[in-house]
Structures are given as C-alpha cells and as structure tokens.
Structure 1
Amino acid sequence: MAKCFLWNLLLWEVLFPIAVIGAQVLSKVGDSVLLVAEHPPGFQVREVIWRSLWPSEELLAMYFRSSLETLYHSRFLGRAQLHSNLSLELGPLQSTDSGNFSVLMVDTGGRTWTQTLQLKVYDAVPRPTVQVFIAVAGDDQPLKTCQVFLSCWAPNISDITYSWRREGTVGFGVESHSLFTDGQVLSVSLGLGDKDVAYSCIVSNPVSWDLATVTPWESCHHEAAPGNATYKDVLLVVVPISLLLFLVGLFFAWHCGLCSGKKKMDACTDQVAAETENSLVNVS
C-alpha cells in the first residue's frame, strides 16, 4: 500500500507539475535546521513526501493518512523529524549534509505542489591568529613612528572572509588601500599617540564569526629606559674583552711553540704565564 501511494505521488508530480523554488537555507555543523513546507492559500494537504535530491536521491519522511513516518534508511536516519505542520527538522547537522531537498504535497482535490530547498551547511569559524611584523625603518620615515603589518590567519574553511576593526572607533576604522591579500594583511602606521590602540581581525562565514585583538605598538622597537643597558652598550663592553682574551691566547701559543723538550716546555710555560699575568695587570 505504501509503495502504491509513493508511486502515485511521483506520477502526480510528473503529470501535474506545479513547483516553486524555495530560498537557500543556511546552517552550521552541530546545529539543527527546519525545512519549512509552504503551500498556497486554500491548499488542504492530504499527503506529503520529503526527499533528498542531491547528492543522492533518498526518501526522508512521509505523511499519509494522518500518520508521520521518518524511519526510512537514509543518511538522516535518526536525525530527521517530521513535525505536525509538515516541516522537516534535520540535526545535528554534518558538513556532508549540504544538498537539495524537495517536498511534494497533494491536496484533497488531487492537486500537487512541489517545493525545492537548498541546504548549505558550514563549519563554525574558529578564533583566528594575528601576527605583528615590524617594517624596517627607512630614511624618510618620521622619528618615533612604527610601521607594522598585521597578518590574520584562520584554518582553511569554505566561504571565509577577513575584515579589520580599529577598537574605540565607529565602524571598521580602516581604509581599503591598507588591506592586502584579500583582507588578511593590514598595514598600519603608528605614532606615540597610538600606544594603546588595538586592532581586531574578524573572521566570518555566512553563519558564524570570531575575532582576535592585538595592540601592535607593544611589538615596536623602543628606546631603552634611562639606567638600562641597551644592545649597543653590551657590544661596547663584550667585544673589547673578547678581543683581548683572543690576543692573549695567541701570545701564549706562540711562546709555547718556541720551546722544545719537556724541561724547556715547563720553563717556557712558567715564563709565559708570568708575562701573561703582567700583561693583564698592565691592561687593568
């Protein structure tokens, strides 16, 4: 009886095709989605059949003689629920659930109505990673400024977009000519008044979004505070001492090479050690 009913519905769909293409339905992995069955005013529904059309054609649910049936062995077995208003709920969704679905309805007068819906399932966007790169200062760059490049990255997810926001301003607060690589890289010139300015990278797709915020001035090179040794100061101390020790080692090796025999070597060693000690005292 059920097979006969199914074949009748399919035959009515071919002989009396009244169809409407529904809007695209968007959702994300792990959520549930409701595919709403709509019909014209005055259409008194008697039978309904829900099918998956792509990537494979499968029977998902059926309403026949006031009975709701969803126990078909499709890929949505255990994840499909047909509600009393004849809308079909699917979930929890998987990334492979995207596809086209159709609902075929027959009214009490024998008229058919077919609606097609396209379901698009996206992965949830993860939090991005932002890196700060400092540009090398040129001769024409003003003093006490810092040119930085902010690079934003998120795992390869479909239909992902990047945008930037300067925190504390209305709107996004960045100019389009400062963006590179489809918005993943932002070029920013900072001054002393921008020490506390933060920038946020916003990663989004049609169903989710996330962001990461950085304060780029913290990565800029600053002058050392008074009383603190700078890198140049360290070089001025370390290099002369290292050179002195190197010369002393060469002097010691040269004197040892002039000595021959074990006794002469011992005497030479004592002599070189004494001369080395005197040399260090004179240097001090």
Structure 2
Amino acid sequence: MIFPPEIISTMNLESPLGFAALILFSLGGETKAHINKSALQHDSIRISFSSQKIGTIRAITWRFEKNGKLFTILDSTEKPYYIYDSQFRDRLLMSDDLYTMTITDLTLQDAGVYTVDVTDTNGSADIYSFNVTVYEPTPLPTITTHEEKDRERCNVTLICSVPSSSSDLSYYWKSRHQDSTYQPYSNGSIIQISVPPDHQDMEYLCIVHNPVDQKNVSTSVKSCSGNRSSSLFSRSHFFIIPLLMALIILLVTIIFIYLKNKKRHRASEEHKHKENRNTEIDYIEVTTQPREDSQRVEMENNQNRGKPPPQKMKAETVYTTLQHPQPTYT
C-alpha cells in the first residue's frame, strides 16, 4: 500500500528521538489512519492530515478523547469555526485550511487520542486518529562507584541512577580510552568492571533516555596501580595504629598518676590545716598563798608590830600547752 506523501510527512517529529507509527486502511469508501506520536513536556507538537477530498470537503471536526471523555476542539460547521476546550485555551494554532493543528507548551494532561473527521459533499468520511504521548524531560543522572581491591585486580561497580520513578527510562553505557571515540559497552543501569594491573584509565558514559529526550553523565575508572599504592598505604595502618594506641595508653596512664598524686598532696595539706586548727593554748593562773588560820595570823601580827607590813606574795603564772590527741586514720 502506498501512503500519500502528506500522511507520511506527519511521521516526522520535532524531536530526533520522537517516533510515530502509522496504520492506514480503507473500509467501505472510508479511509481511517492511526498515528502514534510522542513529544516532550513544554515542547510543541504538530498534527496534520491530508485528504483526497480536496475541493469537495463539507466539514472538518477535531476532537480530543481522554479517560473516556470526548471534547470537541473545532467544528467547521459552526460559526465561528473554533470551539476550544479550556484545557487548550491560548495554546492551539490552526492552519488556514484546518488541516494542521499545533499545540504549544505541552502538559502531561495533553496526552490522549486526537481525531479529525473529514466529510465530503457526498457524505463519505475520512477519519484520522493521533495517539499522542507526552513525556517529562529526562532527569540528569548520577554515577555511584563501589570498589573492591585485592592484590591482583580491582573490581569496580558503576551504578547510574536518576531522581525519578518513571518506567519509561532506559539506560545504556559507552566507553572510551583517552581521546578515542565512544564505543557501545553495555545496557542497564549497573555495570561491573574487573580492572587488571596493567589497566589504563577508561571513561564510561551513562546515557539515560525516554522516547523523546536523553541525558548523560561520565566518570573515569583509574588505573589499578593507583589503587595498589592505596592498598600499600592501607597495609601501613597495621603498624601505625598499634603505635598510636600504645602512645594513647601511655598518655592516659601519666595523666592518671599525676591526678592521683595531686589528690594525695591536697589531702595531706588539708590534714595539716585541721591539726593546726585543733591545737589550743590554755592559760591557768596559779597563785601560792600560805594557809591563814587565826592563831598564826595573831602571832604574826604580834611579832610584826611596829614593823613595816610585809610585802604581798607575787602571783606566778605557769604556761602549758594542751593538745588534743591526734586522730587515727585508717
């Protein structure tokens, strides 16, 4: 079956990754065409048809169907022609002959089935159906690297991921050495690389795409020699770590002894202070005076008559130090 050139032209999309599939058949004088088209969110899409009824067309009707609901976009039998649904307000562009409809600033809600009925003056109709899919832009991917090293090889796992749960995304990898061109490597979001000792640096490119958009990111896998030097550095930890631990233990011991001696010295000073504080000096005045009975006093008075009075005896003071017994510490 030979398709009219105008129908085939509708298969060319604005995006290089877009696609269109055309199914065309004729039944009882009616021509029906079904076309699949894809576009990127916020881009524009152009839907066009061509009919053999040029010059005899009586009516053209554009409709949009989604989730079982049918909306009339344009009916040429109405005056004026355009009957816009609010969803497409200010975003529809129609050609003068009404054969081409362009939707700008696409949203995810614009995805659905668009149909156009073309009826001639004899009552026969051509029906064109366009199944439009709108995709979100592909997020920018990131690559996570996990390495496992041994003496002979470096096993590297590269994980390519995007912040999206869309099931329409596909992953594939390319690789290149230095300034050479990229070569296909593998499909899937995860690849595993076993790097031998004589391996030279390689660059790996992860490409994430949906039918209308793609993003990519690259990473370099270093030579195994660099990894081996890192391994040697890791082995030196077996000597450095025990030495550091011994130094730490020694430092903690010195600090402990210093604090213990300082505490003991402080306790001794406090003990001396308590002893000095508990020491008291009592003063007792002891006076010696002979016994004075009545006879002796009378005799002394008779003997000393006419004599100057005797001098009084002086008081003698005796000093002694009383100390509390020293406390016994256990």
Specify if TM > 0.5.
yes
- Specify the alignment match of 1:13 in structure 2: none
C-alpha distance after superposition, 1:75-120 (max 9, x if no partner): 1121112213411111110011110111011113221111111000
Residues 202-217 of structure 1 aligned to structure 2 (within 5 Å): 202-217=207-222
Q: 1:76 to 1:17 in 2, by over 3 A?
A: farther
Q: TM-score, normalised by structure 1?
A: 0.71
- Identical aligned pairs, as a percentage? 18
Q: 1:70 to 1:42 in 2, by over 3 A?
A: closer
- What one-letter code is carried by the residue in structure 2 that aligns with 1:242? I
Q: Is the 8 A contact 1:51 1:60 kept in 2?
A: yes
- Pair 1:61 & 2:61 matched: no
Residues 104-143 of structure 1 aligned to structure 2 (within 5 Å): 104-135=117-148, 137=149, 141-143=150-152
Gaps of 5+ in 2: 1-27, 273-330
- Specify the alignment match of 2:82 in structure 1: 70
- Greater C-alpha radius of gyration: 2
State the distance in 1 between where 2:174 and 2:144 align: 15
RMSD of equivalent CA atoms? 3.4
Aligned residues: 237
Residues 122-201 of structure 1 aligned to structure 2 (within 5 Å): 122-135=135-148, 137=149, 141-143=150-152, 145-156=153-164, 157-167=166-176, 168=180, 171-174=183-186, 183-201=188-206
Match of 1:45 among 57, 65, 68: 57
Q: 1:192 to 1:99 in 2, by over 3 A?
A: same
- What one-letter code is carried by the residue in structure 2 that aligns with 1:116? S
Shift of 1:217: 2.1
Please, which moves more after superposition, 94-103 or 72-81? 72-81
- What one-letter code is carried by the residue in structure 1 that aligns with 2:155? Q
State the distance in 2 between where 1:60 and 1:210 align: 35
SS in 2 for 1:223: helix
Q: Which structure has the higher relative contact order (CA within 8 Å, separation 6+)?
A: 1
Shift of 1:237: 4.8
Shift of 1:215: 0.6
Match of 1:20 among 25, 32, 35: 32
Shift of 1:238: 2.8
State the distance in 2 between where 1:186 and 1:225 align: 23
- What one-letter code is carried by the residue in structure 2 that aligns with 1:34? R
SS in 1 for 2:117: strand
State the distance in 2 between where 1:115 and 1:250 align: 92
Residues 225-236 of structure 1 aligned to structure 2 (within 5 Å): 231=237, 234-235=240-241
Match of 1:102 among 111, 115, 122: 115
- Specify the alignment match of 1:88 in structure 2: 101
Q: 1:238 to 1:33 in 2, by over 3 A?
A: same
- What one-letter code is carried by the residue in structure 1 that aligns with 2:51? H
State the distance in 1 between where 2:56 and 2:151 align: 76
Gaps of 5+ in 1: 1-15, 177-182, 267-284
Q: TM-score, normalised by structure 2?
A: 0.62
C-alpha distance after superposition, 1:114-171 (max 9, x if no partner): 1111000001112101111112x4xxx552x311111111122340011111124664
Higher strand share: 2
SS in 2 for 1:57: strand
Q: Is the 8 A contact 2:198 2:223 kept in 1?
A: no
State the distance in 2 between where 1:202 and 1:131 align: 14
Residues 229-244 of structure 1 aligned to structure 2 (within 5 Å): 231=237, 234-235=240-241, 237-244=243-250
- What one-letter code is carried by the residue in structure 2 that aligns with 1:250? F
